[in-house]
Chains A and B, each alone.
Chain A
Amino acid sequence: MTIRGKALIAGVYEHPGRELPDRTLPQIHAEVAAGALADAGLTLTDVDAYYSAGDAPGFGALSMAEYLGLDLTYIDDTETGGSAYLVHVQHAAAAIAAGHVNVALITLAGKPRTGGAGPGGSARFSSAPEASFENQFGMSVPGGYALAAARHMHEFGTTSEQLAEVKVAASTHAQHNPHAFLQDVVTVEEVVSSPMISDPLHRLDCCVITDGGGALVLVSEAVAASLDRHCVPVLGTGTSIKHTSGGRIDLTHTGASRSGPLAFAEAGVTPTDIDYVSIYDSFTITVLMTLEDLGFCAKGEGGRFVSDGALQSPGGVLPFNTDGGGLCNNHPANRGGMTKVVEAVRQLRGEAHAAVQVPDCELALAHGTGGSLATRMGSATLVMGRST
């Protein structure tokens, strides 16, 4: 059985807020749920499946379903960090293809900017079996990604200027997004002269920290046919994990090297067919390594590939993150996967900002990287088609 085309994304929503001190976490989940359902032309009573990840408080999806007033016959709390929402799309598509689900709701919300880290934070991780062998050494999130970047530079000659090109491209897109947390266009020189956080990553190699959230609604073909909204078919999905492998970690590749080929194969397409990509951009190095692992260029060639405006829209060979991505626009709850799917759907619907809309966008890819490049990650790739 394949899920190809059996499930469609009917509704998407990105919370416009980036600082939300006056809302509770459940309120933000409820706002984004309402937004995505309204986008689809559906209501909470239509939802029979609900998906949430580590950002949902309490009992996770069960607690949030109660808060929202959902009546469910399907529930899924898969947690892979910031990529979880793409994993949820895969799971929802499979459940829809199997006939178990008609309308699936996926939500994300968080307040790392004004309200602390929230659920899924230090208490949960301090009980992990690996905790005492990693947490005693001052490994910040940027520090971990810096270890991957430093090794990539060592093996392949990647430069800080090449990493900066990723941020530059994101900033050229973010200038057109009135909700973007950072809207100023930056230059390579500005990136490499910003304060060093953890060598070789500068402040402008790092994503923003924002409150907010987003939601997705997936539906069956039958439900899609009843809606007025243009729906985006899910054509291919892939999930993989990568961890420290008993102490034999390779820091120069990501889980995308397995999730990508799975998604391409299911969709029946190749990287050269893709018109637009949303690539998880917790840091500039995340994008560069992911592009290699997805096959948009050879391993080690990422630095050269992203140079000369390759990622800029329009005009670049591979337009990416046209909302400004996590590097400039939004990284709600410290989890960038949801917004990656949302912008890909905008592109396929022709509803991205006119200045960055990819002409005749027919195939889009979204990729999520949860966890850390330095230790363990959950990776998920989606290929989506033109709206119908």
Chain B
Amino acid sequence: MSDLGPSGLPVPPPNPNLETQRFWDATAEGRLELPRCDNCGHVVWYPRQRCDQCGSTSVTWFEASGRGTVYSCTVTRRIPGSWRAAAPFVLAYVELDEGPRVVTNIVGCDPETVHIGQAVQAVFDPTPDGPALLRFTPA
């Protein structure tokens, strides 16, 4: 099993690339930065150097609030491999206040209490390489 973050969950390192480096650099500093389309205003997720709605390749990064609500969630109780020892844990989609729905974990609480519609706040779980994983905890 890989090392655990402060959340108690595995923190597998991401693979930043030219399009996502800024996102990961921000997470290392505990900030959530997202790209917004300069043409239509769409906030793009997953981060990339283009807008999937209008096709523009001009985006500007901004600091997001880190607030959101649980769109869907599941308590995973059985899973093979490196996550086995972390179960039960909460896998979720969180809808950010800025619009995107992101795959994440809800941490820092009893997994059985997490529910759809719950208000949550971003937390940053550092990986050994520096970038942090965007997770959420009840607001």
Contact = CB atoms under 8 A, between A and B. Distances in A.
The judgment on whether A and B are partners is yes
Contacts of A149: 74
B129 to A, nearest CB: 11
Contacts of A49: none
Contacts of B20: 132
Contacts of B135: 137
B89 interface: yes
Of the candidates B11, B74, B83, B101, the one having the most CB atoms from chain A within 10 angstroms of its own CB is B74
A137 B91 contact: yes
Which of the four size classes fits the interface of chain B?
A: 35 or more
Given A138-B83, A138-B86, A251-B93, A130 B46 contact: yes
B79 A143 contact: yes
Contacts, number: 120
Contacts of B123: none
Which of the four size classes fits the interface of chain A?
A: 35 or more
Interface stretch (A40-48, A192-200, A323-331, A362-370): A192-200
Interface stretch (A2-10, A68-76, A108-116, A240-248): A240-248
Contacts of B133: 136-137
Interface in A156-187: none
A251 B71 contact: yes
Interface string A134-148: 111111101110111
Interface in B42-66: 42-48, 51-53
A126 B104 CA distance: 17
A228 B106 CA distance: 61
A248 B103 contact: no
Given A131-B15, A136-B133, A139-B91, A198 B76 contact: yes
Contacts of A154: 72, 116
A143 B86 CA distance: 14
B72 A147 contact: yes
A99 interface: no
A248 B116 contact: no
Contacts of B72: 147-148, 150-151, 154, 251
A247 B116 contact: no
A133 B100 contact: no
A150 B72 CA distance: 6
A249 B43 CA distance: 14
B12 A151 contact: no
Contact of A199 (B9, B44, B46, B75): B75
Contacts of A138: 9-10, 76, 79, 83, 86, 89, 91, 105
Contacts of B42: 246
A30 to B, nearest CB: 31
Contact of A249 (B9, B53, B101): B101
Given A132-B20, A138-B91, A146 B74 contact: yes
Contacts of A130: 46
A129 interface: yes
Given A129-B46, A137-B105, 18 more contacts: A132-B16, A133-B102, A136-B11, A136-B12, A136-B133, A139-B103, A143-B91, A144-B91, A147-B72, A147-B92, A199-B75, A200-B74, A246-B42, A247-B43, A247-B96, A248-B101, A251-B71, A374-B103
A-B pairs, 7 with minimum CB distance: A247-B45, A247-B100, A132-B14, A146-B74, A246-B52, A151-B72, A133-B46
